[in-house]
Structure 1
């Protein structure tokens, strides 16, 4: 998944950010049509793999929070630079408990 408990840089090249944004939109669109459930964790992992293959730095976050009924719920989101690529909706309700950074190396063992 990446280097545990590390984050990628908040600054990223504009071309890489544009590519990351396109990847996020594709992942979100395709997730609506898969024959299986493609919720936030699946979307974040797929986006992470696509960014890694292109050598683009990113961080996958795992978070926990409470829903309206006070039950514990989880969420995952993916960041590149200052841009949230997947899982942006409602993420402010979650505290990050895991962070997995990629430094952009394709095939890097993390």
Structure 2
């Protein structure tokens, strides 16, 4: 019984952290230029071969699920970019190697705008921003993993 209470409290704390960071990321992407907020994400374009341990992948998956749950209930309905930023900050705090990508659709469909998208990856596993039905090419990368 005590373990359940402890798990619930940990999940509640993660959800609270996600709610605050989603709000910060949303505000930054709406009110601050890319040049300024991108510095908060770490090194851009870093290349490295960091591989997360199994425990880190499990932790990253949990953080991703919580971010999605909180974002789906958040008053501003954060889209992929604030979700990826939030995940990056939360995983960095926990020492989990991760990479955040920002990408663009190379060609727009007839009469449509080009789609921009952001996603977060830990050891080849997408934590936030899964997309399967569009061809998105990375144009920016933050982090030293992958």
Q: Where on the TM-score scale, by shorter chain, does this alignment land: which range?
A: 0.7 to 0.9
Q: How many residues align?
A: 103
Structure 2 unaligned residues grouped into runs of 5+: 1-40
State whether structure 2 residue 122 is matched by structure 1 residue 87. no
1:32 to 72, 93, 101: 72
Q: Is the 8 A contact 2:42 2:142 kept in 1?
A: yes
TM-score w.r.t. structure 1 length? 0.84
Distance 2:100 2:66 in 1: 17
TM-score w.r.t. structure 2 length? 0.64
Distance 2:66 2:132 in 1: 20
Q: Flag the structure with more relative contact order, 1 or 2, with Cα contacts below 8 A and sequence separation at least 6.
A: 1
More strand by share: 1
Structure 1 unaligned residues grouped into runs of 5+: 104-110
Secondary structure of the residue that 1:4 maps to in structure 2?
A: coil
State whether structure 2 residue 113 is matched by structure 1 residue 71. yes
Q: Is the 8 A contact 2:51 2:97 kept in 1?
A: no
Root-mean-square deviation (Å): 1.9
